[in-house]
Amino acid sequence: MALDVGKRSVQAPRVSVIVPTYNRAADVRRCLEALVAQTYREFEVLVCDDGSTDDTGRVVESFTSKLDVSYYWAENFGGPARSRNNGVRQARAEYVAFLDPDDWWAPRKLERSVRALDAGADVVYHDMFIVSSPAQKRFWRRSRTRALRSPAYDDLMTKGNGLATSSVVMRRELLLKIGGFSEERGLIAWEDFDAWLRIARHTEKFERLAETLGYYWSGGGNISTPRRLIDNLAHFKKKYGAEAAASRRARMPAWYHYLLGRAHYTLGAHHEVPGEMRQALLAGLPGSLKAKAAYFATMSSLRRMMRP
């Protein structure tokens, strides 16, 4: 339902910024402050709340004089997919942008993204600086994206997710064409990758901007956990396994085995790690990850040997 927070402008904007949130009032404030600082101004903001019990609504209300912002609250679903879909339905613009409440953008982010979309791109994205502390002032680590090679669907399937959701701006019509983000429970925290795969069946016009135009919060509170990642991978295999293995001699892609091995390592399931890392190497793991795969496999084997 929509609460009486915000006043939508009469003139339709060019971009609808969708912010899904749940009990993140302080983060929402920082997020909205970054939107106030955008150099491009033809946008609306749709804060789509997944059942928060904090004062998120009041925080949003405090920005109504600075932004074309609306607030939508709904019963808790447990993941961002439903909130994002609510935002897509309410959006008035031809372009939609996604921004998680604990992330934020550089001032020229929308300006650069709209320029690329107006020039013919369908999906625009970029790297994000990684932030691990509220007091952090210098940013050097990045959540790296990659340019997709054609066919984009095969690139995503073979190499894994190459887009950062809080960096994406895209044509709304594409999301309507695929029916929005999947609300399957097994894809919570992976619904974005699933959406990019389905969108890649309709367009090759993915454009990665060379600039780093956003900030990704990694300091805790994220819904993705090792246990959930294992569940996501199992659901992905059930949904896409036949396609993922079709071109790889019945073997899942290297990234699949590597992520599964890392998740097992974090959980201390060391008996699972060497086999997954071996499969990742056999499936053609990139050189940059081969040493890491060997490390995790070796450490897991040693820990198993040291157990009484």
Residues 6+ apart with CB under 8 A from 277: 257, 258, 261, 293, 294, 296, 297
HSE, side-chain direction, 13 A CA sphere, residue 93: 24
Q: What is the mean pLDDT of the chain?
A: 92
Q: Of 9-13, 83-87, 302-306, which range is least confident?
A: 9-13
The alpha-helical segments, DSSP class H, found in 51-151 are 56-61, 80-90, 109-118
Predicted confidence band of residue 9 (pLDDT cuts 50, 70, 90): low
Predicted confidence band of residue 192 (pLDDT cuts 50, 70, 90): very high
Compare 140 and 242 and report the one with higher pLDDT: 140
Q: Of 51-65, 88-102, 130-144, 214-228, which range is least confident?
A: 214-228
- What's the whole-number mean pLDDT along residues 126-133? 94
Residue 243 is predicted with a pLDDT of: 73
Residue 120 is predicted with a pLDDT of: 98
The gap from C-alpha 135 to its chain's centroid, in whole angstroms, comes to: 24
The pLDDT tens digits of the residues spanning 29-73 come to: 999 999 999 999 999 999 999 999 999 999 999 999 999 999 999
Using a pLDDT cut of 70, give the percent of the chain over it.
93
**What would the CATH number be for the domain defined by 15-217?**
3.90.550.10
CA distance 30 to 100: 11
Amino acid letter, 137: K
Residue 248 is predicted with a pLDDT of: 52
Residue 246 is predicted with a pLDDT of: 60
Predicted confidence band of residue 245 (pLDDT cuts 50, 70, 90): low
For residue 35, CA distances in Å to 44, 62, 110, 262 come to: 10, 14, 9, 35
Residue 4 is predicted with a pLDDT of: 43
Cα end-to-end span (Å), the chain? 57
Residue 134 is predicted with a pLDDT of: 82
- Asked if residue 124 lies in contact with residue 209, where contact means CB atoms within 8 angstroms, the answer is yes
- What's the whole-number mean pLDDT along residues 162-184? 97
Using a pLDDT cut of 90, give the percent of the chain over it.
84
